[in-house]
Each structure stands twice: as C-alpha cells, then as structure tokens.
Amino acid sequence: FDVSKAATTWAPPAAYQDGMIGPHWSKGWIIEDCEVSNSKCCGISLGKYYDPENDHYFTRKHVKSPTQMERDAVCRGQYHGWTKENIGSHIIRRCHIHHCEQTGIVGRMGGVFSIIEDNHIHNINNMQQLGGAEISGIKMHAAIDVVMRRNHIHHCTMGIWCDWEAQGTRLTQNLLHDNCPPEGTPKAEGAMMSQDIFIEVGHGPTLIDNNIMLSPVSVRMATDGIACVHNLMLGSLTAVGGGTGDRYTPYHIRHRTEVAGFMTFLHGDDRFYNNIFIQNYPVEETETVEDMGFKMEDNQEVGTHVFDEYPTYDEWISHFELDKPADMSKLEPYHNKCHLPVWVNGNAYFNGAKACVNEKENLVDNENQVKVELVEKDGHYSIKTNVYEFLKDFRTGIINSDILGYAFEPEQRFEDPDGSTIIFDQDYLGEHRGVAAMPGPFADGAEAEKILW
C-alpha cells in the first residue's frame, strides 16, 4: 500500500496513539512493502489500548504527574489483556516511511515482541511544526523483546528512541546518520535533543550491536542496563548519570509483560565491548539540556571516559561483604545511591576519543587522523574510511551472552527473545568473524567498502 497525507493527531503514550496505519491492541499484524509518508503526526502506530479513565489524564486533570500516569497505564494494561498471548508480535518490514512530523513508527505497550526490519525511515520532524516528547524515526515505550534490525534511519530529529521498559530490546545492523536538524533550522517550542539512539529510563537488558552511528551524538543513555557491542560511533555517549530525575519505572518477568517490580536509577550496569569510537565532530562547551524537565549533560567528547567514576564489578560487589551477615543499614547506600558497575574492554579510539580508566585492553591512537565519509550513489550507501589502516593487528575475543551477563534489576541475560545465547560472530552484513574479532561492525576492512544499504 501507499498511504500518504493524513491528518493524524498527536500521539503521546497517554493517548490511543493514532497513526496512518495502526493495528493497536492486537496481535500478529504484518506490515510490509508499504510506502508511508506525509502524516501530520505519525506514520505507523503500534499503540496502546483506549482507556477512558486514563486517557490524557495529565492534560485533562493535572493532579497526577505524567510519570505516575505512565505507571498507572502499565499496571492497567494487565486489566486490558496485556500479555504475550494477546498483544504484539507484529512485523514491520521493508517499508519506506518518510516526511512525517512526529514519528515514523510509534508505540506504547502494543508493540511488544515485534520485529522492525529492513525499513527506510527518513525526514521525520524536519519541518519542526511540532515539539515535545515522542519525536523520532522510531519511538517506542515498552519495547519488550522487540528486535529492530537492518533499518536505514537518517535526517530525523532522532533516530531510534526506546523509552521506558526497553527490556530484551535489540537494535542491530542499523545504519543511522544525519539524525539532527540541519544547521540554522528554526526549532519548534519544546524541540527535543538529537541523537542516533536514545534509551530512556529502562532497566535493560538493552542490546545495541553491529550498528553504524554517524551523527554527532551516538547514544543518549539516561537509563540502566545497556550493552554496546561491535558498533562504529562517530558521536558521543551522553546523559550518562543524568536525565532520569526521581522517576522509577517498571521491569518485567523475563520475556513477558507482567510487571516484576519498580526501581529508580542508580546508573551504570552497562557494557562496552569491541566498539570503534572516533571523535568526528568538534568539541564545544558542554551544555545542560532538558527532556520534559529532566536535566542532563549534553557531552560532546567521544568515548567511554564518561564512565571513569563508575566501579568495576569487583569494586562494586566488595561493598556487600558476602562472607558476613547482611547489615541493612550499612548496605543502604549501595542499594539506593551508588552507581552500578560498568564493564569496558576491547574498544578502539581515534582522533582524541577517550577510553575509560578501567579498560585493560584497548587501542588508543591519537597520532593518526581517521576519516569516515558516507557516500551515496544511485540510492545506495557505502562508507570510505582509513580506520582499518590503523587498527592493524589489534584483535579481541568473540563476545557472547554469557560474557555480557545479566541486567541487574530484571536479572535477565542479554539473550535472544527465546532465551538462547547470542554469539556476536556475525557482522553488520552477516559475514562471519574469525576466532579473534576486529572491533567495530565489520569482520574486516574489505567488508566496510561494500554497499551498506
């Protein structure tokens, strides 16, 4: 189908969430090979149920905070049949989604267990007619066991935004670039920050692997429980340790929708293995930005150094004195205030990108000038880069689910939705890595020269 030019309404998670196409509170739709364009707000919606008692609660009544309304919506979802057996498991595949003014794909709770793959999404929110949260190429709340793979997302205010309950979510083999307004674009009131990927107030596990991220900010991570493996990042990691306020959000029974608990954010519980970090954009003075009143630092320095103050696992676990009787008052700071540990190893850093002080094995090259250029020819994209000349013989180990371990709050492994182990032995193009792996999304330098989309 070719679906175009519809006056859809603004689609926040508090609402029914209109889109030009919208399966809503159902299961098993396949939306493929469609062109979806020029929606006033959203292209495709995997939105939530309609609940008169909770519909636009904050807008109409004001007396509960938007965050509390969201917690209510999650819990009320169980009453409305929010289970794996009833809701989600949709497929959005090979669609061309463009020139929509809020989102290309939006969803709150209704998109669980879905696959979003091989889509071309671009020019979302470029006219800046609308501002506020829910603006992105893909914006999903509760992307539980959702796989987003092999999508090409560019020239959007944001690329992919996973808000609340990104648990079992995997973003893999995506090409993301130019996800920021062109310089000089007038911004709408309430305009949002820009980045390739934004993971917000979730508890993981959220897996970001084998992606190519070329925008000035690669990952905004106001959250816990992310693993970044074998990515190429030209932009920074930002909002580390901030952007969550005093919010507490749910986590779920493993590979289910039923709520297992709620928790605030200690930050950390993150993993960075076998990535390439390149400082591709000039560093300007760090500024403080806001998302709906939640302040966060907009760091522009590329690398894992933003985790220098975070403990290693051994440092963190030592505070709990597992060989002694538990002391509730003594352990209270480590339960409620101190950062969770971070694992960092096997990454490569160029052009001044900075490594975490606790990283034991890495490659830091501040002598050679690395260049990365995205090339478009006849609608096909590739990259030109000299980074592989300087990686030379630096190799690391093959990463798998057991190495990544378990996200802290849900106690869920970084694994496939069916619980099976992920072995990161295939690259962005599906080619196999050798026994020893090169950092970044390609098995070798020759792979990087092939058509990416």
Taking only the tens place, the pLDDT of each residue in 278-323 is: 999 999 866 676 666 666 778 999 999 999 999 999 999 999 999 9
The number of beta carbons lying within 10 Å of the beta carbon of residue 426 is 17
Is pLDDT at 422 greater than 70 in this prediction? yes
How far apart CA 334 and CA 326 sit, in angstroms, is 12
User: Are 104 and 158 within 8 A, CB to CB?
Assistant: no
- pLDDT tier, 376 (very low <50, low <70, confident <90, very high otherwise): very high
What DSSP line would sit under 367-393, residue for residue?
SS---EEEEEETTEEEEEE-HHHHHTT
Confidence check: pLDDT of 96 > 80:
yes
Each as own residue / partner, the long-range contacts of residues 62-69 (CB below 8 Å, 24 or more positions apart, any chain) are 66/14, 66/292, 67/247, 69/14
Does residue 419 fall inside a structural domain? no
Determine contact, residues 177/233, Cβ cutoff 8 Å: no
Looking at residue 58, what is its pLDDT?
84
- Domain presence at residue 300: yes
- Closest to 96 measured CA to CA, from 26, 158, 154, 178: 154
13 within domain boundaries = yes
Over 80: is that where the pLDDT of 185 sits?
A: no
Q: Per-residue pLDDT for 213 more than 90?
A: yes
Peptide bond into 205 cis (omega under 30): yes
| pLDDT band per the 50, 70, 90 thresholds, residue 450 | very high
Q: Which residue has the higher pLDDT, 295 or 431?
A: 431
Least confident of 289-298, 325-334, 419-428: 289-298
Closest residue by Cα to residue 89 from 153, 16, 21, 143 = 143
The answer to whether 252 touches 75, Cβ cutoff 8 Å, is: no
* pLDDT class of 134 with cuts at 50, 70, 90: confident
Identify the residue with better confidence: 296 or 358: 358
Banded model confidence at residue 181, pLDDT cuts 50, 70, 90: confident
Give the dihedral sign, CA 247/63/291/173: positive
pLDDT digits (tens, 9 = 90+) for 18-76: 999 999 899 999 999 999 999 999 999 999 998 888 788 888 889 989 899 899 999 99
Percent of the chain topping pLDDT 70:
98
Residue 23: the pLDDT is 93
C-alpha 5/C-alpha 334 separation (Å) is 53
In a domain, 399, yes or no: no
H/E element holding 147?
A: strand 147-149
**What pLDDT sits at residue 292?**
61
What are 229-249's pLDDT values in tens digits?
999 999 999 999 999 999 999
User: What value does the mean pLDDT of the chain take?
Assistant: 94
Task: Name the E strands within 281-341.
Answer: 287-291, 294-298
The structure tokens 């709520």 sit at 259
434 within a domain of the structure (yes/no): no
Cβ(421)–Cβ(299) below 8 Å: no
Q: Is residue 427 part of a domain?
A: no
Host domain of residue 130:
2-367
> Do 220 and 197 touch, CB atoms closer than 8 A?
yes
Would 23 be classed as within a structural domain?
yes
Instruction: Please report which confidence band the pLDDT of residue 132 belongs to, taking 50, 70 and 90 as the band edges.
Output: confident
Strands 276-278 and 212-213: unpaired
The residue behind tokens 């076998």 is: 274
Does the structure show a pLDDT above 80 at 165? yes
pLDDT level of residue 191 (50, 70, 90 thresholds): confident
Rounded-to-integer distance, Cα 186 and Cα 170, Å: 34
Q: 173 in a domain, yes or no?
A: yes
Q: Of 168, 180, 191, 188, which Cα lies nearest the Cα of 137?
A: 180
pTM, full prediction: 0.97
Which residues does 349 contact at the CB level (< 8 Å), separation at least 6? 277, 278, 302, 303, 355, 362, 363, 364, 365
* 407, two tokens: 């996200």
Average pLDDT over residues 382-398: 95
Query: Which has the higher per-residue pLDDT, 293 or 410?
Result: 410
Contacts of 77 by beta carbon, 8 Å cutoff, 6+ apart: 48, 49, 109, 257
CATH of the domain at 162: 2.160.20.10
Task: Return the DSSP state at 175.
Answer: E
pLDDT for the residue numbered 25: 93
Please state, in angstroms and rounded to a whole number, the distance separating the CA atoms of residues 47 and 4: 19
Q: Report how many domains make up the chain.
A: 1
The neighbouring-strand residues paired with 62 are none
Determine if residue 192 is left, alpha or beta; phi over 0 gives left, psi from -120 to 50 gives alpha, anything else beta: beta
Q: How far is CA 118 from CA 159, 284, 426, in A?
A: 14, 35, 17
What is the model's pLDDT at position 136? 96
- Please tell me the distance from the alpha carbon of residue 438 to that of residue 443, in angstroms, as a whole number: 6
Percent residues over pLDDT 90 in the chain: 83
